[in-house]
A and B are shown apart, each in its own frame.
Chain A
Amino acid sequence: MTGAMRQVVAFGGGGFSQESGNPLLDDYVLGLTGTVNSRVCFLPTASGDADHYVVRFYNSFRDRARPSHISLFRRERGVPDIRSHLLAQDLIYVGGGSLISLLGVWRAHGIDSILREAYEAGVILCGLSAGSLCWFAEAVSGYHDEVNRVPALGFLPHSNAVHYCDGTRRGAFHRHLLDGMPAGFAAEDGAALRFVGDELVEVVASRPEARAYKLERRGGQILETRLATRYLGAEAPDNVVPLVRQAA
């Protein structure tokens, strides 16, 4: 562990949850841990701890990491001390689902403050969809058939949108920025934003065409800038742990 480098990798979508057979984003976050047999803890809270999701996580990580998960719906069967378990991880991986439910449950169990502690101690945080949105000050989240602005954990001072491929989310993001939402980032499925501290340091993608954007308000206008993106499939980057590819 390198100490106090605070890192978040926010996926617009993708990883084992959505890209079966394409391990590029998951390999990328494993590579960032700087250890070969990383401890990775999955938090499937946003899905209601769906069993099939937990099984998919283990199937995807058991051959290349030391995976574990925490169920907040079945605490009696899980790790006895959540705090020390999370603090001992190299990577905490948050699954997708309902952002509102995720935040409600985490706050009820005090997971939000444990995650803050883990983040400050250098545990890498990553996730997709709700598991990306949660780290930011504000999220543009789709539910109830409309796109809403939801205050999230605020580990990063920016705003965030995921699955940024449809016009509804784009329109909503622009509208909320004009209403005073802090400037932020949007990622398409397959694109991931890597932050060190509050700064975006890199955008990577598991698909050649996946993009991410920086969005900010300039007067009465929204400036949406496409960000330079490194496609992870072009060549094996130096920092990626050699992976054991699973049969598709």
Chain B
Amino acid sequence: MNARRRILALGGHDFDRRAGNDAICDLIVELADSPRPKICLLPTASGDPEDQIARFRRVFAERDCVPQAISLFRLGENPVDLREELLEQDVIYAGGGSMVNLIAIWRAHGLDEILRECWAEGILIVGQSAGAMCWFAGGITSSQGDPAVASGFGVLPGSLCVHYLSEPVRRRRFLRAIASGELEPGLGLEDQTGALFEDTELSETVSAREGAAVWEVTPENASAREVELASRQLKDSRPPINGTRADILELRQTLATRAARRRASQRRPGRLD
């Protein structure tokens, strides 16, 4: 086992074919540096939705990985030894969602300590959005509604703000927090960009979407200063499939809701605990 301690923080990533997302999956597999990497998704921050897990499995199975997901909400149905299971991985991917919930749930299950151990053992930690900010001293969460400063686990020093230009209110809150000293200086990551940390040092920044950048944000004269960092450009290995039209999305949403209603009316009693 190599003991390079690495965290790849992503500013916004999904397991689909929108521009840049494929290239980021390729980067993760490359960094995993194993013939058939075992990669485990922790979708805790969004409440372990099945569709996210299915998309994750698909994109990494087609890259010859061994994908797996651990649902902390369904341990009753699928009991696993969390520590043993996670220490066997090459990569652990923390999904996005609510940073406040992520931190609360991981602490309640003791997962923060286990993941720190995984990181120290050289397992590549990847996180996007809430799953990225949680590793830093602090970040900007929208878990409570309006963007607010939140503390992370502090495995990495400094702060992180995700979805940097796509969520302007979040960015403004970040700039204010850096200017006032509420947050330590840090990085602003746009969607489809990433920052790779080795030990606790920033070793490289990457951008997988044209025009998307990583920003270094520091306080300056009671204000904040943003400097674009030079990032390695990543290319999708196949043509991206970008945005779906809003009316098509609405149709899909309606169909999905109807299907859920139908399933609900046919559902047999299950066991929840």
Interface residues of A (CB under 8 A from B): 13-14, 17-20, 46-52, 55-56, 59, 72-76, 78, 80, 95-101, 103-105, 107-109, 128-130, 141-145, 162-163, 246-248
Contacts and interface: CB of A to CB of B under 8 A. Distances in A.
Contact of B75 (A14, A75, A98, A107): A98
B149 to A, nearest CB: 15
Nearest 7 interchain pairs by C-beta:
A48-B47, A96-B272, A104-B108, A108-B104, A145-B79, A104-B104, A48-B73
Contacts of B191: none
B109 A100 contact: yes
B145 A73 contact: no
10 contacts: A13-B271, A46-B73, A50-B47, A51-B260, A59-B261, A73-B45, A101-B44, A101-B72, A104-B108, A144-B81
Contacts of B265: 20, 59, 246-248
A142 B273 contact: yes
Interface of B: 44-49, 71-76, 79-82, 97-98, 100-101, 103-105, 107-109, 142-145, 257, 260-261, 263-265, 267-273
A75 B46 CA distance: 11
Given A104-B107, A141-B273, A47 B73 contact: yes
A247 B265 CA distance: 9
A75 B145 contact: yes
Q: Most chain-A CB neighbours within 10 Å: which of B71, B101, B144?
A: B101
Contacts of A72: 98, 101
B260 A142 contact: no
Contacts of A50: 47-49, 73
A156 to B, nearest CB: 18
Given A20-B269, A55-B264, A98-B73, 16 more contacts: A19-B269, A50-B73, A72-B101, A73-B46, A73-B98, A74-B98, A75-B98, A76-B142, A97-B74, A104-B101, A104-B107, A108-B103, A143-B76, A144-B75, A144-B82, A145-B79
